[in-house]
Amino acid sequence: MRITRPRSVPDLDPAAVDLADPQLYATGDPHAVWLALRERNPVWRQTLPDGRSFWSVTRYHDVNDVLRDHTRFTSERGTLLSTLAVDDPAGGKMMAASDPPTHTAMREPLSKALSARSLRRWEPRIRRMVHRLIAPLADGVAWDIAEASAAFPMAFTGTLMGLPERDWPRLTQLTTMAIAPDDAEFSEGRGTLVAAHHELFEYFADHLHTTRDSADDSLVGFLRGMTVGERRLRQDEIVYNCYSLLLGANVTTPHAVAGTVLAFVEEPAQYARLTLDPGVVARAVEEGLRWSSPANHFMRYTKRETELSGVRLGAGEAVVAWLGSANRDRRVFADPFTFDVARSPNRHVAFGFGPHYCVGAPLARIALRILFEEVVRHVAEFEQAGPVEHLASNFVAGIKHLPVTARLRPGAAERLDAARAAEPRREVVP
């Protein structure tokens, strides 16, 4: 998605804007549209040409209300605009598409398995993977950091889930097809979304079958042994949750990397601050998350008639909470269109809010922190080396291509070459 810095509230007619159109996010200016909505129509109803309609909320506090209050806003009918008005078959089976108490029963054990404490032992492996990822910077030629980052999440989530490395490229491709079926670079025709879902579900069903008798202490094995109340998860529930974990990681993390590096390219002084004080990396990661807001929106349906910022919503209506907009709300963030690596406080909602707050947030934070620690250790300065291309998706604020060159720090090229030359270890689950 194009990340712009509108200087004033644009004078635009919201009725002329289609917030569901994936192309708006590839070539349009969603930040300008959201700004206009936040200031003039914070709770806005759009009707699509086929008659389906949805509410959009763009202010931080409304977004939080929608995501927090499952008694008024349910996740069980679907949480993405791409499934508007079609009840989600995963409702009540997949954690992300469940309400408490089912949601809580699934979430509690999984969030322990994915806590920062449980993940600590993975940090050295993630650092090795990061070295391999950024090694091409040593070549001194243009390197597409957006394309390279697309493979990054599989390196840690694929490892954690115990998925064979030979499958990672196809899984990366399938998860992108599932969130950007209209992007020409990833589309495989009209049925792209359905085909990607089908292949992913089949993949996990097969994986469960082939690993059924093996001792498996991966995340998939964890799901297999997990109990919800008195019972084990059923096969379809395990498959849906595997899908959700993979998608959650794959389609978001790369865009936090690319969005942050693009901000560094556009504002070299901010990157220079980081190189002078690497202690700022953790805060820079948070600002990069706010700035890029890789998950654009999540959707809910009203369970009954309700009210948001003085507007009445009927029962059973779809409400889309625009996270990227909430993260630019001047009511919460000073100078919201300024990228500030040391921003504090920074209560962004890039990971959502309330009961569905991203269960992978500790993993994403660890991976991004390690990545930017290593970038700062090796790179003195970035320069853009070609045009930026943005993903056509109303769900993921994505960058497809960002060619850069880097001026390396003394000794960095040798260290990166050594990382590349090192025998790639098989990253297996311990």
Indicate the residue among 157 and 176 with the shorter CB distance to ligand HEM: 157
Indicate the residue among 117 and 312 with the shorter CB distance to ligand HEM: 117
Burial code (b: 16+ CB inside 10 Å, e: under 16) for 347-377 equals ebbbbbbebbebbbbbbbbbbbbbbbbbbbe
Residue nearest ligand HEM, CB atom distance: 360
* 394/307 Cα distance (integer angstroms): 25
Indicate the residue among 294 and 398 with the shorter CB distance to ligand HEM: 294
Min dist CB 17 to ligand HEM, Å, is 23
Specify the 3-state DSSP secondary structure of 110: helix
Indicate the residue among 88 and 138 with the shorter CB distance to ligand HEM: 88
* 41/4 Cα distance (integer angstroms): 20
Residue listed under structure tokens 């598409």: 97
Indicate the residue among 84 and 359 with the shorter CB distance to ligand HEM: 359
Side-chain half-sphere of 202: how many Cα atoms within 13 Å? 7
User: Could you tell me which residues come within 8 angstroms of residue 170 by beta carbon, excluding any fewer than 6 positions away?
Assistant: none
* 410/390 Cα distance (integer angstroms): 33
Min dist CB 48 to ligand HEM, Å, is 22
Min dist CB 418 to ligand HEM, Å, is 28
- Would you tell me which residues interact with ligand HEM (CB under 6 A)? 67, 75, 79, 95-96, 107, 114, 157, 244-245, 248-249, 252-253, 256, 294-295, 298, 323, 350-352, 356, 358-360, 363-364
Min dist CB 138 to ligand HEM, Å, is 26
Min dist CB 79 to ligand HEM, Å, is 5
Residue listed under structure tokens 């991976």: 367
Residue listed under structure tokens 């809580």: 104
Min dist CB 8 to ligand HEM, Å, is 29
Specify the 3-state DSSP secondary structure of 304: coil
- Backbone phi, psi, residue 101, to 5°: -85, -15
Indicate the residue among 57 and 67 with the shorter CB distance to ligand HEM: 67
